Chains A and B, each alone.
Chain A
């Protein structure tokens, strides 16, 4: 692919803190390489702001390899920008043309309050995990791996669900801010494996209860979450969680 430089107009959401009212601020960046990642373009912009004595734009990022799920940017109306199965750090500037205007906003959800600029508080996801997204392991010697036979299909499905990086793009893109794709990926991953069986019923009930407490919306099966998920988590996980929930809800006594 041919390399080119571009000049861009950026409209970025600036918000001092959780209580302050925010607004879109306009910035110009020049000579941006088409080989840069979107975050590197933001580094250039922040450099510019620091040199000018202004407050740099706060944004989340960590691995820059597409696996940490931190880079939560809503770019031109889409979670993680225009590319499919992609995080913001893996979005490259060749997705844009010279002279483009790019609007960047934080995730919008009651459950993800803005901390500053583009950084949102995703601890609601942590609390959902704490409510049941784990397995109990007794201490002692590790058991022989071959003593736990696992069906290949289940192992694959569990692995696909475990690919969820908890970035929150599903919530950000859902018309209802529903967290069903995230929670269902975590429920599925453990429900499909033998290690997840002891807490199978209480897990789904507790995690859904916590999800409801965190003010996420309800699922309308629009499947936008699946389309925007950087890891391609399937909505079949949501169907599985619905089955798990119905099953646990009807049979559990506690």
Chain B
């Protein structure tokens, strides 16, 4: 048994998906918690403070590299699995009644993941790219999104950027809601599926895992979706 085989066999590939998936799930908790600071409705004071903490922190910056690597691995592996699984049934059924035996979202992880990926490109373009490479051609100049001073330091005003993106743009808000909606179904299946992949299927623990996964997915996604909506409706200024 080689390390390579351990991760390239059908079960190994699922381990990779589950491990990277759980890491991304933990990332979303941090991402969502900090973003939820906008609901203090203090002109972005608290949100920008924590945004700056994340942006200027060497440990977090290093973890960001890991985040992108794991994200990339999850995406590439996922797309490869999707294509392989598709090839495993070259002649399709003429009649297939799937809904009696499984949930539509558990069968649509590849599709949901692709929708999330498309959303993610837009999302990174809106927030991550201007914050990292403000001077890059084609991306909004940093000056527009920068407060002059914050605790005597130059801080990216990501809060202003959020207002700019969402305040008067219904289409963008709708795209974000759709992206988060896809994410929610992806998480509802992915969360509990990861534990089954690691071999955890237990009379007492599995119901807890499934309930926790459902609660996590719904809470995280409702919070995420409420942000562009709240900004668009001027609930927070």
B95 CB-CB contact with A under 8 Å: yes
Taking the closest CB of chain B, its distance from the CB of A149, in whole angstroms, is 24
A173 to B95, CA, bound (A): 12
Nearest B residue to A214 via CB reads B88
Taking the closest CB of chain B, its distance from the CB of A141, in whole angstroms, is 36
* B residues in contact (CB < 8 Å) with A: 1, 5-6, 9-15, 81, 84-85, 87-98, 100-103, 106-107, 109, 189, 192-193, 196-201
Interface residues on A, range: 35 or more
Q: Are B196 and A24 in contact (CB under 8 A)?
A: no
Provide the residues of chain A in CB contact with B103, threshold 8 Å. Answer: 222
Provide the residues of chain A in CB contact with B92, threshold 8 Å. Answer: 108
Select one of B10, B196, B198, B201 contacting A218, CB under 8 A: B10
A140-157 toward B: CB 8 Å interface, digit per residue (1/0)? 000000000000000000
A211 CB-CB contact with B under 8 Å: yes
Select one of A209, A220, A248 contacting B107, CB under 8 A: A220
Select one of B13, B97, B101, B201 contacting A239, CB under 8 A: B201
Select one of A216, A220, A236, A243 contacting B193, CB under 8 A: A220
Closest 3 A/B residue pairs (Cβ): A77-B97, A243-B199, A239-B201
Q: List 26 A-B contacts (CB under 8 A).
A: A76-B97, A105-B94, A111-B88, A175-B85, A175-B102, A175-B107, A178-B88, A217-B84, A218-B85, A219-B197, A220-B107, A220-B193, A221-B189, A221-B196, A222-B101, A222-B106, A223-B102, A227-B100, A227-B102, A235-B196, A236-B201, A241-B11, A242-B199, A243-B198, A243-B199, A245-B12
- Given A208-B10, A242-B196, 15 more contacts at CB 8 Å? A105-B93, A108-B89, A108-B91, A110-B90, A212-B9, A218-B10, A218-B13, A220-B193, A221-B106, A222-B106, A227-B102, A240-B199, A242-B198, A249-B6, A253-B1
Q: Are A110 and B97 in contact (CB under 8 A)?
A: no
Provide the residues of chain A in CB contact with B198, threshold 8 Å. Answer: 242-243, 246
Taking the closest CB of chain B, its distance from the CB of A197, in whole angstroms, is 18
Taking the closest CB of chain A, its distance from the CB of B120, in whole angstroms, is 21
Select one of B15, B88, B90, B97 contacting A246, CB under 8 A: B15
A78 CB-CB contact with B under 8 Å: yes
Provide the residues of chain B in CB contact with A223, threshold 8 Å. Answer: 101-102, 106
Q: Are A220 and B85 in contact (CB under 8 A)?
A: yes
Provide the residues of chain A in CB contact with B197, threshold 8 Å. Answer: 219, 221, 242
Provide the residues of chain A in CB contact with B15, threshold 8 Å. Answer: 242, 246
